[in-house]
Chain A
Amino acid sequence: MNKKFLLLLFSLLALLVLALTPFIGMEKIPFDTILNFDSSNIHSDIFWRIRVPRILIAFISGSALAISGMAFQAMFRNALATPFTLGVSSGAAFGAALYVKIGFIFSLLGISGQTLFAFAGALVSIMLVYILSKVKKGFPVGTMLLAGVAINFFFSSFILFIQFISDFTNSFRIIRWLMGGFEVIGYSDIYNVIPFIIIGTIIIILLSTELNLLTLGEDVAVSRGVSLSKVKNILFFATSLMVSGVISVVGPIGFVGMMVPHISRLIIGADHRYLVLLNIIFGGAFLVLCDTLSRILIAPAEIPVGVITALLGGPFFIWLLIKSSNNNSI
């Protein structure tokens, strides 16, 4: 099927998801009340101050996690290598948890301290991944993944330690945040992360041809004229930006960056000029749907969205592992 047609089709489906999901939930929102911007109208208030921001943040988080995962999969030429599986998410989570523990609230240039701490944590773990991939040229991806598991354990222990020395309130805040969720009110969190996501997304869109070349293998990419270390550094930087921005607000939501790019690749093919766009659309809509499930499955209580993505992602990971053992390409 024509790739542009597929993109159009999925855009329409995503718009449909965005238009319908704010009406789904415990409180029924009559359609005519949403144009009433009077804050005394409870339905309008729920719609515009709670549901719409929540759905928007779920959408941009899903997009950012999906294209970050896509970039990692291309760089490492393996569907299992994503920021989450290589430990970048846990690094960011550690940074954010540390911020919660310190309890010293600050912001810089309008960016919250939690985002900055998450960014620092993501950078540290990305540096670890980067150094590991440099230690030996052609580090086998299996070894990279094991190293990611080790990095995950390492930061998880730190997070446990922070929880242990925190008081009950902070400890619960950290646990709840680690499960992932979009319980935002109003638009300030969106303003907080959107610059990170826009910059990262633009960088990755501009590098889509380089990503195509990287899937051919590093040697071939270099021989075609890719300045390898420069391109990889920029990609690492862009993914750290996006992943840490997202995680600082919504927590370490796993497996979106693995499932969405892989399914997108099956749908539209490996050409990253199209793939990146489908990931933005599909990743966003996917996470909005997961979040809607999290809101309605055991209503009035909520299942943390991280639990839902992990329940879907765990079996998916194992399926990929079995499938890719006899064919190691993406």
Chain B
Amino acid sequence: MKGNSKTYLWVLFCVVTAIVGLVLRTQNLDVRPMHHDEANQAVRFGALLEDGHYEYDPHEHHGPILYYFTVPVARLMGQDSLAEVNEWTLRWLPAVLGAATGLLTMGLAGAIGWPAVAAASVFVAVSPCLVYYSGYFIQESFLVFFGMLTLVCGWRYMSSHAPGWLILAGAGLGFMHATKETWVLSVASWGLAWGAAWLLSGHRLKLPRRAWRSVALAFVIAAVVSIVLFSSLGMHWRGVVDSWATYFTYLERGSGTGTEHAKPWYYYLCIMVGNAPSRPLWWTELWILLGAVVGLIVALVSDRKRAEAFGIWFVLAYAISLATIYSVIRYKTPWCMMTSVHALCLAAGVGIGGLWSRFRPVWFRVLLTLFLATACGHLYAQSVRATSRYSTDIRNPYVYAHTTTDYLRMIQRIEDVAETTGLGSDIMVWSVTGAHNAWPLPWYLRAYNQKHLGYWNTVEGLPLQYRPDIWVVGPECSESLIPHLEEGYISEFYGLRPDVIMELYIRDDLWKKFLDTRR
């Protein structure tokens, strides 16, 4: 009965944690405007959805998983074309996988103990970084999920020697490869962590006899998964070669050459530590860092059995090595933190679990629970803030070159003019924006007659003899285009990103018709 009660409590805990993680990630999924990168990938996804066309690009857009896995979601929603797809369809799966990662974390209970996985899964559920980017139509959430799947299945194989786990781990590895090129960083840090855990715990994991067969099978499965996806289900074999050739591109990008995203080593650390508490909004994930440091201290002073110590040292070394690798790489965007933050959540769990197991007095455990509740409450509040009112606000540290809500007013203006003038989806909109400011416009104009839309990066080659209904002009092109638009158009301006303002030119006759409806 006692055992049953514990099981029920544990199941209840898992369900509540999963629900909290899911609710946080799925609320307001369609409120935040599409980021440049999301919109770009959404249009690529549209080609796959409508025509079944996908080709891996070794220079941009990462692996095929995001696109292929979103197709069934769209079909389930009854959406067969890009015009029908909405933000919810695109962001739903990354959000669900983000919440599922918290559940998967429980699978490491055999390695680091139940108290540790419980704390870690709560941190995963409420971490603002993990919550915020789980709501993006990007690859990161998939990478964290498949990384965790591989790790848990690999560990389960080590402890149970059941080959089924290794086959699942192989599939997870293949999915990781097909998700994003940075999968190699996770695998490298596992290798480092393995070595460190071996040295520090003195424990050597024993593999069953003839384990090489299962290992080989796992690699074959990983290869099959990867080849099927990169070859676009056998339609673009060049993709398989490119999936490895791409590392030349990413090696150069990682060194910080030719990219505007080069940042100092402490960039991610600063986001985790956060701003000073005196500021009106205190953003920080210091709680998780603190938990990881405690985990390290507890591991150093404890005298656990070798087998237990191995799991704990593995997780700590994994978190430290992955965070170090990502910090050393000059190319940094904040969503790349997700795998490191997840690993740090595991390490923080080790810290809380270590304290729980080491100090048994009731008063201490009550204090520890209160501390955890406070920390998670603060993280939860930040996650709510980050995904709602501050989802595009630059004071939110996770907002990075995001489209402002003012941009949605521009889209609304185009819609209103199209509607009030009777042009509807046939309205002619030309966009001349410069390469960096072209997105997310194609996403927002996806339901219009595409033959009436034009996108140019520069003014050169523009057929200026035509007078489209609306021009969208970026700051780089404005100087040379304005002389052509000074007569016959009224102009407005809208924020695209912080400090990037777009100009909208509406033909006079359309503007007058529109304004008549507003008087």
Is this pair of chains taken from one and the same complex?
A: no
